[in-house]
Amino acid sequence: MATTAALAGWQWTELRRITALGEPLLELQPVDNGSVHLAFGGDVANSMICLCRILGAGAKRISLVTALGDSSYSAWLREGLCREGINVIEPSLAGEPGIYGLPLGPEGGPGFSYWRASSAARAFLQSADLGRLEELLGDSQLLLVTGITLALCSSASFEHLCRWVDRHRDGCRVVFDCNFRRKLWDSETQARERIGKFERLAAVIATGGEDERTLWGAESTAQIIERVSRLSAEYLIRGGPAGCWVGLGGECQHVPTEPLTVIGDTAGAGDAHLAGYMAARVSGRGRAEAAAYANKAAAVIVGQRGSVPKEDARFPPLTAAAPG
């Protein structure tokens, strides 16, 4: 097993303070009568909500560092996140939340629609310096960052974030989800440079086939495994209906999933998958067992419409286990 400075000397079960950095969004959900329902989502928000639901209220301190603005919609989104048990940490900024819409039409349409170019979160992430990150990220022990978060950063704020991670590497481990969205980046070259640099700072990397093909030219799962196994991080490779692959260095295991029925779309499934994996790991499960639980968590989301679990959604129970 590859043991590196990024992974040595820490235990998942010791983690109590879990934080995400990124952008929650207002979500427009098409409904059967032709109207649109207002909800909320966004990759880091989806993962943190699922994490809260799975672990239960008060089990960990789960926080989200962002900026939502000062409008009535900002307040509505903030209250929704807080009701889920998330500690929302943000600077005082004017503005609005970003918005995205799930595809319209019976076949799902051509893709998601976004209105986020002038969101408060983008303004915050563009301008965040090391001092502001020190103030807001505080004493986090596990930090979730995604490719979307990196895309919203300026060149300067990205470097400040890397410096913060490096400065706190003894006390805070990073979980990085590639989550590549081409429209958010100036170029694929810029995305590869930032994502490649940040992967080298992460203790855990989550990725998927489409992102790997686009960014790194991977033509098979074996090529994805070959690439990520060279990094000094635990890795989780999402494969949709094929399940997932999980490993560290040269130790990799395929974890199949049960056949799934997709209702509407798969929005939020990858976010729930990562949340399920994190929840199982902090509960003491080994990598393969955590990956199997992650598959079950993702199945909950693809069995509904919308990216955030519905109020009556039920994740499989996850009891604490001895570290394995």
Map 113-166 to HEC letters: EEECCCCHHHHHHHHCCHHHHHHHHCCCCEEEEEHHHHHHCCHHHHHHHHHHHH
Contact status, residue 85 vs residue 108, Cβ threshold 8 Å: no
Strand partners, 173: 142
Residues 46-52 have a mean pLDDT of 94
Where is average pLDDT lowest: 79-88, 121-130, 273-282, 296-305? 296-305
Query: Which of 142, 154, 153 shows the shortest CA–CA distance to 22?
Result: 153
Q: What is the mean pLDDT of the chain?
A: 89
Residue 8 to residue 164: CA distance in whole angstroms: 19
Residue 192 to residue 274: CA distance in whole angstroms: 21
pLDDT score at 261: 63
Q: Which helix (H) or strand (E) holds 254?
A: strand 251-255
Assess whether pLDDT exceeds 60 at residue 24: yes
Six-digit token pair at 237? 């490779």
Strand partners, 174: 143
pLDDT score at 109: 52
pLDDT score at 263: 59
Single-letter amino acid code for the residue at 324? G
Residue 136 to residue 127: CA distance in whole angstroms: 13
pLDDT score at 66: 98
Domains, the chain, in order of start with CATH, read: 21-302 (3.40.1190.20)
Cα of 324 vs its chain's centroid, Å: 24
Where is average pLDDT lowest: 213-222, 249-258, 267-276? 267-276
Residues 162-183 have a mean pLDDT of 95
Where is average pLDDT lowest: 10-14, 67-71, 151-155, 284-288? 10-14
pLDDT score at 2: 35
Residue 124 to residue 122: CA distance in whole angstroms: 5
Tell me how far CA of residue 205 lies from CA of 32, 123, 177, 232, 299, in angstroms.
Answer: 37, 26, 6, 10, 21
Assess whether pLDDT exceeds 90 at residue 1: no
Assess whether pLDDT exceeds 70 at residue 222: yes
Length of the chain (residues): 324
Contact status, residue 46 vs residue 80, Cβ threshold 8 Å: no
Assess whether pLDDT exceeds 90 at residue 64: yes
CA 165, 170, 172, 173 dihedral sign is positive
- For the stretch 99-109, pLDDT in tens is 988 877 655 55
Q: Tell me which range, 6-20, 229-243, 293-307, 310-324, is most confidently predicted by mean pLDDT.
A: 229-243
- Band the pLDDT of 128: cuts 50, 70, 90: very high
Residues 1-23 have a mean pLDDT of 74
pLDDT score at 195: 98
Residues 107-126 have a mean pLDDT of 84
pLDDT score at 114: 87
- Band the pLDDT of 240: cuts 50, 70, 90: confident
- Band the pLDDT of 35: cuts 50, 70, 90: confident
- Band the pLDDT of 315: cuts 50, 70, 90: confident
Percent of the chain past pLDDT 70, that is, above it, reads 90
- Identify the residue with better confidence: 38 or 3: 38
pLDDT score at 30: 82
C-alpha angle with apex 235: 234 to 238, nearest 5 degrees? 155
Six-digit token pair at 309? 């679990």
pLDDT score at 107: 55
Assess whether pLDDT exceeds 80 at residue 323: no
The predicted model scores a pTM of 0.91
Torsion of CA 40, 44, 46, 49, to 10 degrees: -100
Which residues, 6+ apart, have CB-to-CB distance to 228 below 8 Å?
205, 207, 235, 237
